[in-house]
């Protein structure tokens, strides 16, 4: 894969998904349980792909065999004054180096609104185009529509569609203007409206979907989400499973090698290291 000619555009996606971990390895960790404890650890995944192909409507389509994965239970955080990169940042660097990401004519980072994704993107790839997954934004708007019109699903759907159209047409100022009045209401939906407003306002430069379509770019993180499911969830989130961090990372590494088409290379490198030892 690494020796093939580089496509004009390479995409880097990052995301995280929780897996069940043994209680003995969760002592002292805070989580989302009612008592503040945790039952999971987050696997962070990065994936790289190209999408030079086009469907019948001219939309970019993931190129067959272009996707590679790398993932582990690792932290993406470092202290503000630290001169050392996080574990996951180093993983992203290794994968992007392997795929010659920075050598591509155009590079794109796609993710949801999580701050750690954009922190890594800005630190490692400041010249890359940053895009928030369009369907994540629409899900936020859809959830808000239901909160604003809980007793009228038809009205909620209509309101959401109007916001979708503004988003797709690049009318972000109008979209924010449509949200602003609901932030000041005295209903329970005001908090939801405020969160949605600030989410869009904070990421608006990553939501220029009309411009991105004109540039022929993907605006969906479907490849990344599929990776979370195929590489992680289908193997490590089965009924009754509880992993150790060491054990889960070992399985994740093997699955990423297999799905990235690097399984034979993995064993060749392992044989070389054993011979050298």
Say what the pLDDT of residue 1 is: 45
What integer pLDDT is reported at residue 30 of this predicted model? 84
pLDDT of residue 83: 78
Phi, psi of 220 (to 5 degrees): -120, 145
Query: DSSP letters along 134-195, please?
Result: HHHHHHHHHHHHHHH-TT-HHHHHHHHHHHHHHHHTT-HHHHHHHHHHHHT-SSTHHHHHHH
Q: What is the pLDDT of residue 188?
A: 74
Nearby residues of 150 by Cβ (< 8 Å), 6 or more positions away: 156
- Listed in sequence order, the DSSP H helices in the chain are 87-98, 115-124, 134-148, 153-168, 172-183, 189-202, 209-214, 222-227, 234-236, 245-259, 263-276
| pTM across the whole model | 0.90
How high is the pLDDT of residue 28? 81
Exposure of 251 by Cβ count < 10 A (0-12 exposed, 13-18 middle, 19+ buried)?
A: middle
- The pLDDT value recorded for residue 34 is 80
Q: What is the mean pLDDT of each run of 10 residues along the chain (277 residues)?
A: 79 96 90 85 96 89 94 87 87 97 97 93 96 96 95 96 97 96 81 94 96 95 92 94 96 94 71 62
What's residue 235's pLDDT? 95
The per-residue pLDDT for 102 is 96
What is the signed CA dihedral for 18, 19, 21, 26, rounded to 10 degrees? 0
Residue 51: the pLDDT is 95
């Amino acid at each position: 894969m690494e020796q093939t000619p580089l496509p004009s555009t390479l995409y880097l996606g990052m995301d995280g998904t929780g897996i069940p971990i043994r209680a003995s390895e969760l002592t002292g960790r805070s989580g989302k349980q009612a008592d503040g404890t945790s039952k999971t650890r987050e696997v962070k995944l990065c994936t790289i792909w190209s999408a030079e192909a086009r469907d019948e409507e001219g939309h970019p389509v993931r190129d067959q065999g272009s996707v590679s994965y790398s993932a582990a239970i690792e932290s993406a955080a470092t202290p503000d004054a630290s001169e050392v990169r996080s574990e996951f940042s180093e993983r992203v660097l290794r994968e992007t180096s392997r795929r010659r990401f920075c050598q591509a004519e155009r590079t794109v980072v796609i993710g949801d609104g999580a701050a750690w994704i954009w922190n890594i993107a800005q630190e490692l790839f400041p010249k890359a185009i940053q895009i928030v997954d369009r369907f994540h934004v629409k899900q936020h708007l859809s959830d808000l529509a239901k909160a604003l019109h809980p007793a009228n699903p038809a009205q909620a759907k209509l309101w959401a569609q109007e916001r979708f159209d503004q988003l797709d047409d690049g009318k972000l100022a109008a979209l924010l203007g449509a949200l602003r009045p609901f932030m000041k209401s005295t209903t329970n939906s005001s908090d939801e409206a405020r969160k949605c407003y600030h989410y869009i306002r904070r990421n608006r430069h990553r939501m220029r979907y009309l411009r991105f379509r004109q540039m022929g770019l993907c605006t969906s993180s479907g490849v990344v989400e599929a990776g979370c499911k195929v590489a992680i969830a289908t193997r490590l989130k089965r009924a009754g499973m509880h992993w150790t961090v060491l054990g889960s990372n070992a399985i994740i590494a093997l699955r990423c090698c297999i799905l990235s088409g690097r399984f034979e290379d993995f064993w060749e490198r392992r044989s070389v290291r054993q011979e050298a030892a």
